Amino acid sequence: MMAPLERLTSVESLRSWTDQIPFHYEYTAGVAGERFLRGFKDGRILASACEECGKRYVPPKMYCTDCFVEIRKYEEVGPAATVAALAESYVDFEGKALARPRTFAFVTFKGATGGLIHYASGKGLGVGSAVAPRFREKGKRTGTVLDIEEFVVR
Ligand SMILES: [Zn+2]
């Protein structure tokens, strides 16, 4: 507690004051999320794997939704992935307008629950297409989902 700097002279001054509260936000992805993002830096897509039932989650979850146990194990999935859904978007990942629309895909990985939404392209791209991630050059990766440039038809 800070000591009062001035003596109160009336009850009025107790009711309000003018000041500024400096705020600084830093988003953290959580334990499972951090592992996931660090994996991208190594060119890997990680799932968390429940040691009770073997269920694997992408993106990783810290708890198994079936067994309600904490998950500590991580396993690599892919790089082979399958397009489960597609959408055209006029905004990029950060919500900035794009001159030309880009295709986003929801891709899934064999043996894993969930999936990733990312840019996708390639000849014959459609629902059911077999795709694989194309990672940025190793030195340019920063531990975000954008370490993957896009998923490309194999
Ligand atoms: Zn489980």
Q: Is the pLDDT of residue 131 over 90?
A: yes
Taking a 5 Å cut-off on Cβ, the residues next to ion ligand 1 are 50, 52-53, 55, 64, 66-67
CA of 19 to the centre of ligand 1 (A): 50
CA distance 28 to 32: 11
Q: What is the per-residue burial (b if ≥16 Cβ within 10 Å, else e) of 44-53?
A: bbbbbbbeee
Q: What is the pLDDT of residue 5?
A: 63
Q: What is the pLDDT of residue 31?
A: 82
> What is the token pair recorded at 45?
């897509």
Q: Is the pLDDT of residue 26 over 60?
A: no
Convert the pLDDT of each residue in 92-103 to its tens digit.
878 889 999 999
Q: Which residue has the tokens 């660090």?
A: 38
Global pTM reads 0.78
Ordered domains of the chain (ranges, CATH): 30-153 (2.40.50.140)
CA of 74 to the centre of ligand 1 (A): 13
